[in-house]
Structure 1
Amino acid sequence: MASKTGCVACRDGQALDFPISMAFQPIVNLNTGAIFAHEALVRGSAGESAGSLLSKLNKDNLYSFDQACRITALEWAAKLQVPAMVSINFMPNAVYKAETCIRATLEAAQRFNFPLQRIIFEVTEQEQVLDVDHLTGILRAYRKQGFMTAIDDFGAGYAGLNLLADFQPDLIKLDMQLIRDIDQDSVRQILVEAALQMCRKLNIRVIAEGIESLGELQALRDMGVELFQGYLLAKPAFEALPAVHLPG
């Protein structure tokens, strides 16, 4: 959990000590061919990788980084006139009190005239969650504000059944390692089919991310998955919305 000092930094809008920008990657509904959402992915101001930025994080700038990512994502989503939802990653360990830390997001959405109902908050896979109760509290607070919520990397690390038992998000993203070469792996097929059946009963929509081959895509479509994200469809575009390549 973030410290009180960190919460004050968020509340007072402490500036981040290095510049950031955003890339966008679409999540596509292949049943309709429409873009369901664009995920906002943090980059350096010259397009540097997320990893190069994360290596600069410490206890003094973690909170301002998380806030800067949210605001920058909304700024670019508005500038690019994103026609669908926008998925914004957040770092739960950088949130002290959800109601306070969300304030800057609400103000940014109003400033950039971006509708709140088109915002998804997605738990980032970049850090280990230190307190699952704290995370579920954040997700409930975001849902109360009208935001959609998503759990990334389901099936890996903290994003498992224990978390799902305590909070049912609107969306989950299947971990890409779980779906890699799923068309050639009967064990992965059984595990994903079980996860999909569970999500249907809980009224949770599933996104298959990291799709790289037609075989993976077709196997998951045959299982009933509608929402897809990955290089096969579109790579992230820096400060732009990429063209989507729908399978023939």
Structure 2
Amino acid sequence: MFQGLKTECTACSSRGSQAFRHDFTMAFQPIFDINSGKVFAQEALVRPIGDGSAWDVIKHVTETNRYSFDQKCRTQAIAVASRLGIDTRLSINFMPNAVYNPEHCIQATLQAAERYAFPTDRLIFEFTEAEAVRDTGHLVGIVESYRARGFMTAIDDFGAGYAGLGLLCDLHPDIVKIDMALVRGIAGDPRRRKIVGAIHDLCVDLGIAVMAEGIEEAADADALRELGIKLVQGFYFARPAYERLILSPEAGFSAKA
């Protein structure tokens, strides 16, 4: 599946990393511009071969094979998306604690991009607040290294993880993805409106794009639009598609200029 692609560097192998020996592929869930209805990016999500959930793959990740898994996620996302003819940005989740040296650990990703003629300036790397960051300075170094190469970066699950505003201040990512726990039910919850509205306004002031994830209801989508949030993702618009790119929102969504 990864034949011909280097998936780990010598420096990381010497640290005792073991190969992730379970095959997997990717599903893709689009991120839409709520005003135009066009795809902003496709997020790559791990899936087992044939059928199953992300957990069927992730449950095999350990401290010793975490690096190899992270590398394979990157290369497989580029490989599958390229085979499907992606022409938008590609968002890939990465594990900060699996990156030993950003300059070394990015080499397999660059090799995959070159092999599949994928423009590296279309890559977005997401890291989640759900994973405790062991060394904020190290994460800052990763983000700065990626930014220097022209990659975009995003904080996933913002508002429901470990770091919050401190990490936002230190990293200054390109995109903040507001966690579904704050998004769901926002249409009928004034407190959620105020919190999400404040996050949006703060990020706009800092020059950071805001995306809302986990949207399942039309009323919530309308409430987010009223707050000025343009980038959206969730089952209301499109569910993840196994080895397939969804290019337009599902029926029931009407773009508003």
Tell me if both proteins adopt one fold, taking TM over 0.5 as the criterion.
yes
Contact conserved, 2:25 with 2:76, CA < 8 A, in 1? yes
Q: 1:48 aligns with which of 39, 45, 52?
A: 52
- Secondary structure of the residue aligned to 2:131 is coil
- Secondary structure of the residue aligned to 1:164 is helix
Contact conserved, 1:29 with 1:35, CA < 8 A, in 2? yes
Letter in 2 for 1:225: I
1:88 maps onto 2:92 in alignment: yes
Deviation string, structure 1 residues 94-125 (Cα, Å, up to 9, x no partner): 00011110011011100011000110011145
Contact conserved, 2:113 with 2:119, CA < 8 A, in 1? yes
1:123 maps onto 2:127 in alignment: yes
1:157 maps onto 2:156 in alignment: no
- Secondary structure of the residue aligned to 1:234 is coil
Q: 1:138 aligns with which of 112, 120, 142?
A: 142
Deviation string, structure 1 residues 149-202 (Cα, Å, up to 9, x no partner): 111011112241000111111101001101110011111111111111101101
Letter in 2 for 1:77: A
- Secondary structure of the residue aligned to 1:41 is strand
Q: 1:22 aligns with which of 15, 23, 26?
A: 26
Using a 3 Å threshold, how does the CA distance of structure 1 residues 184 and 238 change in structure 2: closer, same or farther?
same
In the TM superposition, residue 54 of structure 1 has moved relative to its aligned partner by 1.6
Using a 3 Å threshold, how does the CA distance of structure 1 residues 201 and 10 change in structure 2: closer, same or farther?
farther
Deviation string, structure 1 residues 31-86 (Cα, Å, up to 9, x no partner): 12210000000111223211122211112211110000000000011001112100
Q: Over the residues paired in the alignment, what is the CA RMSD in angstroms?
A: 2.1
Letter in 2 for 1:51: W
Unaligned runs of 5+ in 1: none
Please, which moves more after superposition, 160-169 or 51-60? 51-60
TM-score, normalising length from structure 1?
Answer: 0.93
Using a 3 Å threshold, how does the CA distance of structure 1 residues 183 and 6 change in structure 2: closer, same or farther?
farther
Q: Which residue of 2 aligns with 1:222?
A: 226
Please, which moves more after superposition, 86-95 or 134-143? 134-143
Using a 3 Å threshold, how does the CA distance of structure 1 residues 47 and 141 change in structure 2: closer, same or farther?
farther
Q: Which residue of 2 aligns with 1:166?
A: 170
Q: 2: CA distance between counterparts of 1:128 and 1:236?
A: 26
Q: Which residue of 2 aligns with 1:201?
A: 205
Contact conserved, 1:30 with 1:228, CA < 8 A, in 2? yes
Q: 2: CA distance between counterparts of 1:48 and 1:29?
A: 29
- Secondary structure of the residue aligned to 1:43 is strand
Q: 1: CA distance between counterparts of 2:10 and 2:232?
A: 36
Aligned residues: 244
Q: 2: CA distance between counterparts of 1:206 and 1:128?
A: 22
Unaligned runs of 5+ in 2: 1-8
Please, which moves more after superposition, 121-130 or 139-148? 121-130
